[in-house]
């Protein structure tokens, strides 16, 4: 883990498969410790700034509780509280935060803002979601997938819906790195961008992951997991009506779950979910759903990321 110290997590593109595996193993250890009720104080004397331009339930609570219960001091700062590019350059804010905090979490719009914070603060910066990537989510997703199907052997995940959003993009990267087959089922206008597809396709050669991009829902056949996310991500509210029309046929409902031909296919969702849109209530609240384990795993994986890098 020594080579992880001081590193930022902005996207999984910056980490190799062995490193991602070590985060996952640490997350499993952290979860087991939590289940046993072990009390540890591994962040004593440390501080983290939690910067939020967009709303959050899981990410904020995961960072805040994971850091605080280990003796660290998290400070929540929304863009109503600090300058974050208004009245003061982001570079200057980064320099100042780097003098006061051990680490920074950033959730916001532009991915370049996370990069600027990392460049100028001199402390690890964790991307808690930008328009482009949601890496801490993808680690929890993989952990949840492995809890159901083990960490060996081929796995097939189908992501259905808005294939160009932050969650889909991060899943694609982590699957490409870790050898998980990933099929993105989306209308043509919402498939991941060419540059990312090319990068991930190149990565998949080493890992053996099969990546597919299609609008054919029959391709869910044999899938271990069906994954979806909201049709309209934060910041894209103006597109709501258009997305509803475009994505209605891609709703994950019981008929689509059954189309995999397997009774043990699990359902995954990063949450928050709009029940009745991207997923029906019977599926997300039903026996095949692992969405709630996935939400819990956000905390264990985030704690592991901080433990490894701080
Ligand atoms: N999945 C996720 O990032 O949830 P929040 O938006 O509530 O943080
Ligand atoms: N794609 C969603 C994820 C929320 C966790 C969004 O960006 O709003």
**Using one digit for the tens of pLDDT, what is the confidence trace for 37-63?**
999 999 999 999 999 999 999 999 999
pLDDT confidence tier of residue 86, bands split at 50, 70 and 90 = confident
User: Phi/psi at 8 (nearest 5 deg)?
Assistant: -90, 155
Pocket test for ligand 1, best of 56, 131, 302, 305 (most atoms within 8 A of CB): 56
Residue found under tokens 């193993």: 25
Report, as an integer, the average pLDDT of 155-159: 98
Query: What percent of the chain has pLDDT above 70?
Result: 99
What is d(CA 4, CA 305) in angstroms, rounded to the nearest whole number? 9
* Average per-residue pLDDT for the chain: 97
What is d(CA 212, CA 151) in angstroms, rounded to the nearest whole number? 22
> Residue 135, exposed/middle/buried by CB under 10 A (0-12, 13-18, 19+)?
buried
Distance 272 CA to ligand 1 centre (A): 6
For the CA of 234, the closest atom of ligand 2 is: 8
Long-range CB pairs of 241-246, under 8 A, 24+ apart, other chains included: 243/162, 244/277, 246/187, 246/189, 246/190
Buried b / exposed e along 250-267 (16+ C-beta atoms within 10 A): bbbeeebbebbeeeebbb
Tokens of 198: 């090319």
Distance 163 CA to ligand 2 centre (A): 12
The answer on pLDDT for 278 being more than 90 is yes
Residue found under tokens 């540059």: 195
pLDDT at 62: 98
What is d(CA 154, CA 136) in angstroms, rounded to the nearest whole number? 22
Determine contact, residues 4/308, Cβ cutoff 8 Å.
Answer: yes
pLDDT at 71: 98
Catalytic option among 270, 288, 290, 294: 270
Catalytic option among 58, 60, 111, 134: 134
pLDDT confidence tier of residue 85, bands split at 50, 70 and 90 = confident
Distance 37 CA to ligand 2 centre (A): 31
pLDDT at 83: 85
Catalytic option among 105, 137, 251, 288: 137
The answer on pLDDT for 304 being more than 80 is yes
The answer on pLDDT for 171 being more than 90 is yes
pLDDT at 158: 99
pLDDT at 13: 98
Pocket test for ligand 1, best of 55, 58, 166 (most atoms within 8 A of CB): 58
The answer on pLDDT for 247 being more than 80 is yes
Tokens of 68: 């605080």
Q: Which residues contact 141 (CB under 8 A, 6 or more apart)?
A: 171, 174, 227, 268, 270, 294
Q: What is the pLDDT of residues 16-41, one digit of tens each?
A: 999 999 999 999 999 999 999 999 99
pLDDT at 48: 98
Q: Which residues contact 84 (CB under 8 A, 6 or more apart)?
A: 51, 53, 90, 93, 108
- For the chain, helix (H) and strand (E) counts, in that order, are 11, 9
Quote the distance between the C-alpha of residue 291 and its chain's center.
Answer: 13
The answer on pLDDT for 1 being more than 80 is no
What is d(CA 18, CA 15) in angstroms, rounded to the nearest whole number? 8
Helices (H), the chain: 17-35, 58-68, 90-100, 111-121, 135-149, 166-178, 194-207, 240-247, 254-258, 281-284, 291-309
Which ligand lies nearest to the CA atom of residue 294 in the structure? 1
Report, as an integer, the average pLDDT of 110-124: 98
Query: What percent of the chain has pLDDT above 90?
Result: 97
Pocket test for ligand 1, best of 106, 227, 270, 297 (most atoms within 8 A of CB): 270
Q: For 163, which DSSP code?
A: T
For the CA of 162, the closest atom of ligand 2 is: 1
Catalytic option among 269, 290, 298, 300: 298
Considering only CA atoms, which of 97, 98, 137, 298 is closest in space to residue 233? 137
Q: Which residue's CA lies nearest to atom 7 of ligand 1? A: 57
Report, as an integer, the average pLDDT of 88-92: 96
Q: Ligand 1 in contact with 166 (CB < 6 A)?
A: no
Q: Ligand 1 in contact with 308 (CB < 6 A)?
A: no
Q: Ligand 1 in contact with 268 (CB < 6 A)?
A: no
Q: Is the pLDDT higher at 196 or at 83?
A: 196
What is d(CA 111, CA 125) in angstroms, rounded to the nearest whole number? 12
Determine contact, residues 126/132, Cβ cutoff 8 Å.
Answer: no
Which ligand lies nearest to the CA atom of residue 269 in the structure? 1
Q: Ligand 1 in contact with 303 (CB < 6 A)?
A: no
Distance 65 CA to ligand 2 centre (A): 21
Determine contact, residues 188/216, Cβ cutoff 8 Å.
Answer: no
The answer on pLDDT for 261 being more than 90 is yes
Helix (H) or strand (E) holding 104: strand 103-107
């Amino acid at each position: 883990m020594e080579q992880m110290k001081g590193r930022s997590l902005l996207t999984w593109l910056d980490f190799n498969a062995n490193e991602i595996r070590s985060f996952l193993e640490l997350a499993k250890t952290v979860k087991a410790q939590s289940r046993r009720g072990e009390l540890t104080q591994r962040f004593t004397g440390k501080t983290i700034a939690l910067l939020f331009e967009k709303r959050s339930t899981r990410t904020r609570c995961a960072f805040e509780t994971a850091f605080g219960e280990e003796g660290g001091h998290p400070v929540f700062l929304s863009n109503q509280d600090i300058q974050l590019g208004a009245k003061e350059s982001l570079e200057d804010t980064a320099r100042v935060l780097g003098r006061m905090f051990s680490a920074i979490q950033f959730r916001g719009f532009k991915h370049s803002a996370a990069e600027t914070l990392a460049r100028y603060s001199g402390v690890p910066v964790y991307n808690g979601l930008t328009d482009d990537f949601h890496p801490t989510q993808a680690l929890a997703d993989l952990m949840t997938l492995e809890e159901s199907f083990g960490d060996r052997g081929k796995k097939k995940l189908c992501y259905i819906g808005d294939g160009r959003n932050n969650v889909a993009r991060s899943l694609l990267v982590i699957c490409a790195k870790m050898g998980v087959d990933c099929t993105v089922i989306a209308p043509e206008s919402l498939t991941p961008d060419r540059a990312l597809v090319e990068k991930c396709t190149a990565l998949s050669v080493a890992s053996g992951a099969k990546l597919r991009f299609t609008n054919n829902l029959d391709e869910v056949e044999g899938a271990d997991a069906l994954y979806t996310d909201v049709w309209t991500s934060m910041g894209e509210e103006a597109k709501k009506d258009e997305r509803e029309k475009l994505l209605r046929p891609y709703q994950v409902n019981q008929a689509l779950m059954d189309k995999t031909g397997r009774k043990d296919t699990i359902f995954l969702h990063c949450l928050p979910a709009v029940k009745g849109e991207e997923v029906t209530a019977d599926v997300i609240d039903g026996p095949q759903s692992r969405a709630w384990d996935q939400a819990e795993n956000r905390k264990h994986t985030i704690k592991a990321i901080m433990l490894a890098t701080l």
